[in-house]
Structure formats: structure tokens, C-alpha cells
Amino acid sequence: MYRRLLAALVCTALSTILLSTGAAHAQDPADHRDAPPAVPRLTDDHGRVLTLRGWNVEDKTHRGEDALSAITERHFRDLRAQGFDFARLLVFWDDLEPERGRYSERYLRRIERILDWAHQHRVRVLIDAHQDVFGPAFGHRGIPEWATRTDGLPFTPHPEDWFAEYFEPAVQRAFTHLYEDPDLRRAQADMWRVVAGRFAGHPAVLGYDLINEPMGEIAPGEDLPTAARRIERDQLTAMYNRLADAVRSVDDDSWIFFEPTPVVGEGVPTGLGRVHDRRAVYAPHFYNTAMEAGADYDPSAGWIEAYESAVTVYPRRYGVPVVVGEWGPLNNSLPNMGRFYRDALASLNRYTSGWAGYVWCYGGGYCAVDREGRFRTNKEQTAAPYAPAVAGRVTAERYEPDSGVFTVQYRAGRHVTEISVPPRPGGWRIELTGPARTSTPTLPADRAATALVRARPGEHIGITVTPLPSPR
């Protein structure tokens, strides 16, 4: 029931968005008013423009001493073998700090071991403080029970629809206490000082996602989109700035990722304010309620277009890059899902600095691959050529799924540009225009590979990656 209610509320909001954005797109071509500012791109310490492509990695089945034991080196070896360079690692506060002030050294060592595997296979990691329906007090994972305050309000489980549990009074009140109680604010900041202090120097760590899919308390008479914007404006913005300060007290360099509510992930405009950090990254999720409830993708509904239009307002306004932290439907084999992956990837590639699909595991459901490590239906579209790092200012970038051709044009700076390709029968050819060179004009067919391109600074360079014919 709650999923249907959420779908109706979101559809109403999206209709408003479509009307407003449709009016903007319908302007006369002769209208030469200034275009909106571009969404900034993620960069590395050399100023290279980064693109992240990867998947979430998780273990929600084990707790305590066995926490994270389902994640193995195979995850990172297989990710890299398909050309991915990015993993969003789910960690849980309740496993890290089962009692107030007592942090699990065993859990920290498990995280460190996972980071070591990632570094060995050249995968960047985003450490995500994950929660689902707040935490174990409600039968899920995330915020410890000792940090859960409900004021005695009721909670009724919804095993047939876990997302509905976010609307239970006890869960909503627990979020309010987390955001507003001074001792819980300190506890959450202390947790992040422990995590960031421990892993600040690890070469695999790209950054920290401060909390997964935060929710909050809906006021009487308030509709869901209005509540989400208020929670984001009045509670989440302040929380993110507090936690960013906590991270910066022990880590000066890593990126700080912050999320809107999952309502915003559906394409409803955010109410978030500015996160005052020089390395802040907006990290919304990209899910459609109807598809999560089992419906097929409807290309005519305009959902992806509405989502892109709404979700880019915040990063344009505040000048921060976007990395989508989760996306991908539960049922990927419905008739229109091939079209969904094509449309979704085209959209994501227009405005993000990268994304992490949900989830790299071996089996059914959301899993990217089956037990043998083969892509499940339609998910193979996520493995495509791209530029993990461009040394210079990107002026054009395009991937054509029908031909498999990838092109990038840029005004060269110093340092090396990287081009990544997935395994493909026949391999790949790389062609350059402008004063540039590569030692690998052809790339192998049996494995993912990376080509390095060096160019004269200041020159305009073009790179074209073309699939070669498969051997007969």
C-alpha cells in the first residue's frame, strides 16, 4: 500500500516537473538567453577529469564477528575484469559500534582487508554508512539500537514491503532524534572520526557517503514531497555540515558524498542547502517506484527525462559534481528493460561523474551477475568503453551503443589520459587526432584493458575507440 501511495505522490510531483521543464524546452530556438551552468566534474589531485563506473558491494547477511565475510577478493577481481573501477562499500554503524563508545577492531580490520583487495585490483572505494529503515531496532541494519529513540511510538513490520516501514511512527521519530539530540549528533560525528581517521591514508579510499537514503518525520497535514524538502533543508543540511567537519578533522583529502532523501531520488526537487566543503559530491539514487514494485519500464512516461531535469538543479546551483550512488531495477528481464538500460545509461552519462549500480553479487534479484560471474540479462550494457581520467578540459564525450564506438575530445593538460575498455571478442582499436600518442593502439579481446594517452598541453585532442570485428 505504501509503495502505491509513494508512487502516486511522486507521479504528482513529476507531473509538475514535466510541465515546468517542458515549458522550458519548448522555447523558441531564437531565444538566446544564457544556458544553465554546467554540472561540474569530479577531478583528481592532478586536475584530471574523472569518470567512475562500478557497483555497490555489500554483505547484509552477516553481523557481528562475521560481518562483511561474504565480500571476497573475487568481487574486486571480477569488477576490474569487466572494466569497472569503482565500488560503493556498504558498512554499518551497528556493527562498528555495538555499544556506545566501544568500536569493533575486528570490523575495522575486515574493512581494511576489503580495501586492500580493492587497491590490489585498482578499484576506487566509496565507504557508505548504510542504513535501511534506520537499523536493527526495526529488524534492519544501520543505526545502533542504543542510538534509537522512539518515544514509545508504534511500529508495525511490513515484511511484504520493507520500504513501507519508513512511514511507521517509531521509525520517523527515531530519525528526528538522530538529527536533533545533541548526544546522538556527537555519537554520529565520533563514528565518522573513527572511520575516516582509520582509512584516511588508504590508497583505495575515494571518499565517504555520510548516510544512505536518509528519511525523517512527516508533519500532520504535510504531503511527502513537501516533507522531504523540509527534512533536507532543516535537518539533513545541518547534519551533513556537522559530519563533514568531523571527517575533515582527521582526513583533509577524501571526497565527501551526501544524499537527498529517496523521495528526491525519484525526481522530486531537493530542499538541501549548501554543504560547505571543497570536496563535496551530490550522490542521489536513481530508482523508480513503479519499477521497484515490479512494473516494466514505460519509455513514454518521461520519468528519466524528468529525473534528470530535477536532479541537476542542485549541482548546477551549488557547483558540485554528481555521482549516482545506486541504480538498477529488481526485475531486469521484463520486455522494456533493454530500452531502460539504454536510456538510463545515456542520461547518466550526460550529467554525472559516475555511478554505482546495485549490486555486484552472484545470483538473482538485483545481482549484476549469476553464480558463474556472467552478466544477467541487460546488465551487460553497463560494461562499455569510457575515460576514467582525462588530462585536460573535456569538450565532447559520446558513446554510441549501436556501434560500440566511444569518442572523447579535450583540450590537453599535463599528465596522462586513461581509456578503459571491457573484454570483447575482436578487441578494440584506438585512434588519435592531434599531437598525442599511445603505446597501445589496439587493445586485447580476452580481458579488460586500459590505454594511456599522452598529449601536448594546450592542444585539442580527439580519441576514438572502435570495436574490432570478432574472429570467425
Q: Give 225-272 pLDDT, tens digit per residue.
A: 999 999 999 999 999 999 999 999 999 999 999 999 999 877 889 999
Q: Assess whether 388 and 364 both reside in one domain.
A: no
Q: Residue 124 — pLDDT band, cuts 50, 70, 90?
A: very high
Residues 351 and 438 placed together within one structural domain of the fold: no
pLDDT (mean) for 128-135: 98
pLDDT for res 58: 98
Q: Is the pLDDT of residue 402 over 50?
A: yes
What is the average per-residue pLDDT within 372-391? 98
* Grid coordinates belonging to 261: 532523501
| 407-427: burial string, b at 16+ Cβ within 10 Å, e else | bbbbbbbebebbbbbbbbeeb
Domain boundaries, position 415: 384-472
Sign for the CA dihedral angle at 73, 287, 219, 270 comes to positive
Same-domain status, 21 and 146: yes
Same domain, 237 and 163: yes
Q: Average pLDDT over the chain, rounded to whole?
A: 93
Same domain, 210 and 242: yes
Reported as a single tens digit per residue, the pLDDT across 6-16 is 554 555 444 44
Query: Could you write out the DSSP letters of every residue in 52-101?
Result: EEEEEE---S--GGGTTTT--HHHHHHHHHTT--EEEEEE-HHHH-SBTT
Q: Is 343 found in the same domain as 295?
A: yes
- Please, which pLDDT band fits residue 337 given cuts at 50, 70 and 90? very high
Identify whether the C-beta of residue 432 lies closer than 8 Å to the C-beta of residue 456.
no
- Summarised one tens digit per residue, pLDDT across range 261-276 is 999 877 889 999 999 9
Same domain, 388 and 316: no
The domain boundary residue, chosen from 357, 383, 409: 383
CATH of the domain at 56: 3.20.20.80
Whether 321 and 441 map to the same domain: the answer is: no
Q: In terms of domains, do 346 and 389 share one?
A: no
Work out the number of other CB atoms within 10 angstroms of the CB of residue 286. 23
User: Do residue 369 and residue 402 come from a single domain?
Assistant: no
Instruction: Please give the Cα distance from 345 to 357 (Å, whole number).
Output: 11
Question: Which of 325, 350, 383 is the C-terminal boundary of a domain?
Answer: 383
State which of 383, 409, 427 marks the end of a domain: 383
Total domain count for the chain?
2
pTM exceeds 0.85 for this model: yes
Report the CATH number that the domain containing residue 464 is assigned in CATH: 2.60.40
Say yes or no: 422 and 355 in one domain.
no
Please tell me whether residues 355 and 394 are part of one structural domain: no
In sign, the C-alpha dihedral spanning 92, 98, 100, 102 is negative
